[in-house]
Amino acid sequence: MKVAAIQHDIVWEDPEANFTRLAPMIADAAAGGAGLVVLAEMYSTGFSMDTARIAEPVDGPSTRFLADQAAAQGVWVCGSLPARAAGDDRPTNCLVLAGPQGELHRYAKIHPFGYAGEDEWFASGDRLVTVDVDGLRVSLFVCYDLRFADDFWALAHDTDCYVVVANWPAPRRAHWQTLLRARAIENQAYVVAVNRVGTGGKLSYAGDSAIIGPFGEELAVAVDGGDVGAEQTLTSDVDAAHVTDIRARYPFLQDRAAP
């Protein structure tokens, strides 16, 4: 499967503007043969804590956009968004994966970013999620989750590819780059990582999106655009058989203690 990682800017707290900007990018990725298209964390609003303003129902506009794009382009599309279920006080930072036949899968970010106060405004999820995407086992994570290796380890034996979407600020970009490669190498799985670029909420985002192979190969890496990055789409083939081969030739996972 060809995967497209769309490294994009985000218009602050303006979903409709972001839908308008992203639709042609998704269409271009699909036209280029992508079967899975990945957008950034909080792709339609930016990493805002104003949940009274930005939170949507679980089937709100940002979810419908992903579903509509998946159906229209015949691909899988994912990105995270602020989704609040009926009766809940707070939304979750929810990574929604939409499929071309109307499939909808949701992963609620397990580790809200307490350093920025996300935990005060967003509820945490309690369930790890892996989805079969046309024969590729894809596990879903959001930004700060990347720092918690045990969650990635827990899924390794049943995963071919980790998707990580983020709004990871430029001052800690070295951490992002290092941890992405660590998660791929230690779990012998692909990592498809999309971070936003530009500025929002008084922070700068460098992007540094990447597609890393299960032996730590850099299959696609964003061009360095400085602390505010540059929009670009990364593509690479991602093959479950390659994961199986690497794990057979280097059977490191079997020596790991069960979680």
Confirm whether 143 is a catalytic residue.
Answer: yes
DSSP state of 125: P
Q: What gap in Å lies between CA 129 and CA 84, rounded to an integer?
A: 18
> Choosing from 56, 78, 109, 118, which is the catalytic residue?
109
Bridge partners of 36, per DSSP, are 3, 76
Please identify which of the residues 56, 78, 118, 143 carries the catalytic annotation. Answer: 143
Tell me how far apart the alpha carbons of residues 67 and 239 are, in angstroms, rounded to a whole number. Answer: 24
Q: Is 109 a catalytic residue?
A: yes
Nearest in space to 176 (alpha carbons), one of 90, 256, 113: 113
- Tokens for 39? 């957008």
Identify whether the C-beta of residue 23 lies closer than 8 Å to the C-beta of residue 29: no
Active-site option among 41, 78, 118, 161: 41
202: annotated active-site residue: no
Under 8 Å between Cβ of 110 and 128: yes
Which residues are part of the catalytic machinery? 41, 109, 143
